[in-house]
Amino acid sequence: MKKRLKTSNSLIRLLVSLAAIILSACLLSSFFYRIDLTSEKRYTLSKFSKKSLRNLKDVVYVKVYLDGDLNIPFRKMQQSLKETLDEFRVYAGDNLEYEFINPFAGKNAKLKEDMVNELYEKGLKPTNILDTDKEGGTSEKLVFPGALIQFRGTEVPVNLLRNDPGTPAEENINNSIQAFEFEFIRVISSLSADSVEKIAFLEGHGEFDEYQVGDITHELGWYFQVDRGRINGKPGILDQYKAVVIAGPASPFHEKDKYVLDQYIMNGGKVLWFIDMVNASLDSISEGGPMVALIRTLNIEDLLFRYGVRINPVLIQDVQCDKIPVNVALAGNAPNFVPSPWLYSPLLTTPDSHPVTRNLNMIRTEFTGFIDTLEARKEISKTVLLKTSDFSRQVVVPVMISLEEIRLVPQESQFTNRYLPIAVLLEGNFESAFRNRMISALFPDTTVKFKDTGSPSKMLVVADADIIRNDVRPTPQGVYISPLGFDRYTQQTFGNREFIVNAIQYMTGHGDLISLRSREITLRLLDKSKIKNDQTRWKLINTIGPPLIIILAGILYSWIRKRRFGKN
C-alpha cells in the first residue's frame, strides 16, 4: 500500500513539474531577453545597432567572400563574422539575409582571374596569405576578407581586414574582429536612412580638384550627398551642409569668404581644414632637380588663431617615415630604383583613446607642418588625433630640398622633437574672428546677420593637405584615381581614408555609430610552440578525456545509487 502511494505521489510531482515547465515556457515566449556571459560582452550589440536593425524596412542582403580553403586565423575570423551576422538576424529578423561565398570554387584560372578583377572593381581588396605545412613548406593563397551589402538596388563594399603593416598578424585579425559591428552597421544605417545629409568641398582658393580628392569623395558618397562649389562671399550659402571640407588651398582667402566661413561655424557648422602652410611637393623634385620650399600665405591664420590653434610654417622630418623609389644607379648605367626612407613623409601614429582613431593603421603624410594649441582658448576642448613619433625634428623654411638627402644617414642627436601634433580636433563654442570689426565695410549694400559667439560646434585642423589627396595617373582609358592611403611602391594601405570618414561621421553627430569603434574583444591565442611540441598529448587528452570523465561519473553515480537504495 505504501509503495503504491509513493508511486502515485511521484507521478503527481512529475505531472506538476511538467505543467510548470510548459506554463513557464508559454509565459517566457512572449518576452525577449538574451544573456551574454562572455567577459567582454562579445555577443552584445549596442543600442544603436539594435535600433538600426529593428527599423529596417526592406531586406539587407550580405554576400561574404571570406570562404574556401582558409588558414586558422582567417577561419577564426570567418567564424566570428558568422556569429556577428547571426546576432544581427536576432534583431533584424527576415530583413537580413547573408551567405558565405567561395569566389574561386569550381573555376578555372581564367574565371578566377575574372572574379578577382570583378570583386576588385566593386571595391573589395584581396590579400595574400601564406600557409605553412608540417614539412615547413609554404603556399600562397588569395582571399577576399570582405563583403558586399545590397539594399534596394544599391551595393556597397565592406573591407573587413585591418592590415597594419607594423602589427602582428594575430593582432590585425583581432582588430578586424573588433570592428565587425561598426563596419556593417555604418553601412546598413546609411543605406536605410530616410534622408541624406549633405557635405561640401570648397573651391575657389586653389583647393584640390575633384580628381585629387576623388577617392574620399567616392567613399563619402555612400553616406552623404557630396557637393563642390565656391562661396563667392555669399552669407548663408553653407547653411544647408552638415560639414565643409577645405582640402589643400593654395591661394589667399578673401575677407568675404572668411566671414561666410566664420558665421557658418558660429551657427554650429563643422569644418575640416587640411592645410599646407609650406609650398612643397614631391612631384617637383621627382625629376631629379632640387626645390625651394617657401612659406605659403593663405590669409586664414587669424581665423585659426581665434579658434584656438596655429599651424607652424615649417616642415617635419621623422625617422618613422614612408619609403619612395629612388634611382641609385650611377650616371650612364641602367636605372636601379630602390625603396628608400623619405624623412619628409612621416607615418603618424593614432591613439586608441579616441573613437575616431581607434584601431586605425598609421596615417601617411607628405611635407607636413605641426600645430600649436593656444592655452588662452580654455573654453575650447582640444584633442590631438595625429602626432609624430618620438624621433622627429623641425626644418625651418625656406629650405632647399632634393632627393640627394636620402643618401644622408639620420643623426639621432638631431631628431629631438617628440609627438608633435599634426591633427587636432576642436570642440566647443567658438568666438567669432570678426568680433569688434566693421562688417558693413565688407557688405556695404547688404544687411547681414552677425553672431559673435557660436553654437556648439566641431573643427578638425590638419597641418598637412596631402592626407586627403589621392594619387592621380593618366592612362589610355582615362584618369586613374588611386585609393586614398594606398602606396603603390610598397603595396601598403594606410589609414587615411578611414581617418577622414570617421572624423566626418563623428563631427556630424553620428556619435552612437562612432562609439562602436571603442569596443574591445580579447583574442585568446594558443601557444604555438606548445601546439607544435605537445600536440599528440593534447589530442589524446581532448579525445579520450571527456568520454572517460562521463564513464567514471556514470560508474560513481551507479555505485552511490546502489549503496543508498540497495538495502530497500
Same domain, 171 and 296: no
Dihedral of alpha carbons 5, 6, 10, 16, sign: positive
The CATH number linked to 178 is: 3.40.30
Of 36-50, 386-400, 511-525, which one has max mean pLDDT?
386-400
Residues in the chain: 568
Residues 204 and 184 in one domain: no
Question: Based on the number of CB atoms within 10 Å of its own CB, is 218 exposed (0-12), middle (13-18) or buried (19 or more)?
Answer: middle
C-alpha cell at 116: 578577382
Residues 90 and 226 in one domain: no
pLDDT band at 95 (very low <50, low <70, confident <90, very high): very high
| 277 neighbors 397 (Cβ within 8 angstroms) | no
CATH, residue 332: 3.40.50
Least confident of 224-233, 282-291, 308-317: 282-291
Statement to judge: residues 335 and 257 lie in one domain: yes
* Residue-level pLDDT at 213: 97
**One domain, residues 357 and 456:** yes
Mean pLDDT of 236-264: 96
Domain boundary among 491, 518, 545: 518
Cα(64)–Cα(183) distance, rounded to whole angstroms? 13
Report how far residue 84's alpha carbon sits from residue 86's, in angstroms, rounded to the nearest whole number: 5
Q: Is the pLDDT of residue 270 over 90?
A: yes
Q: Which of the four pLDDT bands, split at 50, 70 and 90, describes residue 230?
A: very high
The pLDDT-based confidence of 467 (bands split at 50, 70, 90) is: very high
Per the model's pLDDT, the better-predicted residue between 288 and 35 turns out to be 35
Which pTM value belongs to this model? Answer: 0.78
Same domain for 154 and 268? no
CA 441 distance to own-chain centroid = 45
Residues with Cβ within 8 Å of residue 43, at least 6 apart in sequence: 34, 36, 83, 87
Give the pLDDT mean for 20-47.
73
Alpha-carbon distance 379 to 150, whole Å?
44
At 396 the three-state DSSP class reads strand
Angstrom CA distances, 434 to 260, 298, 302, 303, 448, stand at 11, 17, 10, 9, 13
pLDDT > 90? residue 203: yes
Residue 208 and residue 76 share a domain? no
C-alpha cell at 188: 546598413
Q: Note the pLDDT of residue 3.
A: 57
Domain boundary (483, 500, 518) is at 518
Confidence band, pLDDT 50/70/90 cuts, at residue 309: very high
Domain holding 58, by residue range, is 47-190
- Tell me what the mean pLDDT of segment 60-72 comes to: 88
Residue 524, domain member (yes or no): no
Whether 434 maps to a domain, the answer reads: yes
Residue 248: pLDDT band with limits 50, 70, 90? very high
User: Of 68-72, 419-423, 494-498, where does mean pLDDT reach its minimum?
Assistant: 68-72
Let me know if residue 441 belongs to a domain. Answer: yes
Which cell is 245 given?
571640407
C-alpha cell at 209: 580638384
Range 331-343 average pLDDT: 81
Same-domain check for residues 145 and 251: no
User: Does 107 have pLDDT greater than 80?
Assistant: no
Which of the four pLDDT bands, split at 50, 70 and 90, describes residue 345? very high
**C-alpha angle 268/269/273, rounded to 5°?**
135
pLDDT score of 440 more than 70: yes
Instruction: Tell me the three cell numbers of residue 130.
Output: 601564406
Do 225 and 111 have their domain in common?
no
* pLDDT category of residue 468 using cuts at 50, 70 and 90: very high
The confidence score (pLDDT) of residue 260 equals 96
Q: Is the pLDDT of residue 541 over 70?
A: yes
Number of domains composing the chain: 2
Residues 160 and 215 in one domain: no
pLDDT surpasses 70 at 145: yes
Look over the chain and give the mean of its residue pLDDT values, rounded to a whole number. Answer: 86
**323, 441: one domain:** yes
C-beta of residue 503 within 8 angstroms of C-beta of residue 219: no
Q: Evaluate whether residue 80 is within a structural domain.
A: yes
Based on the domain organization, do 171 and 294 belong to the same domain? no
Does residue 179 fall inside a structural domain?
A: yes
φ, ψ for residue 198, nearest 5 deg: -120, 140
Give the pLDDT band of residue 565 (cuts 50, 70, 90). Answer: confident
Over residues 510-531, the pLDDT tens digits come to 777 777 766 666 656 666 667 6
Give the end of a domain, one of 190, 206, 224: 190
Considering only 15-29, 389-403, 472-486, which range has the smallest mean pLDDT? 15-29
Determine the pLDDT at residue 70. 82
pLDDT at 41: 67
Asked if the model's pLDDT at residue 293 lies above 90, the reply is yes
Report yes or no on 564 lying in a domain: no
pLDDT at 353: 83
Helix extents (H) in 100-213:
109-121, 169-178, 180-191
Task: Give the mean model confidence (pLDDT) for residues 352-375.
Answer: 90
φ, ψ of residue 110 in degrees (nearest 5): -65, -45
pLDDT of residue 186: 85
Distance in angstroms between the alpha carbons of the first and the last residue of the chain: 15
Q: Tell me the three cell numbers of residue 47.
A: 543600442
For residue 129, being part of any structural domain is answered with: yes
| Mean pLDDT confidence for 266-273 | 96
Predicted pLDDT at 459: 97
Tell me how far apart the alpha carbons of residues 147 and 159 are, in angstroms, rounded to a whole number.
Answer: 7
User: In this predicted structure, which of 36-40, 301-305, 398-402, 413-417 has the lowest mean pLDDT?
Assistant: 36-40
Residue with grid cell 573643427, as numbered in its chain: 459
Q: 338 pLDDT band (50/70/90 cuts)?
A: confident
Q: Is the pLDDT of residue 137 over 60?
A: no
pLDDT of 431 over the 60 cut: yes
Check whether 460 has a pLDDT greater than 90: yes
* Range in 380-394, 420-434, 479-493 the model is least confident about: 479-493
| 387-396 mean pLDDT | 95
For residue 490, the model assigns a pLDDT of: 76
Looking at the chain, the whole-number percentage of residues with pLDDT higher than 70 is: 89
Residue 151 lies in a domain: yes
Residue 48 predicted with pLDDT over 80: yes
| Grid cell at residue 51 | 535600433
**pLDDT confidence bin for 139, thresholds 50/70/90:** low
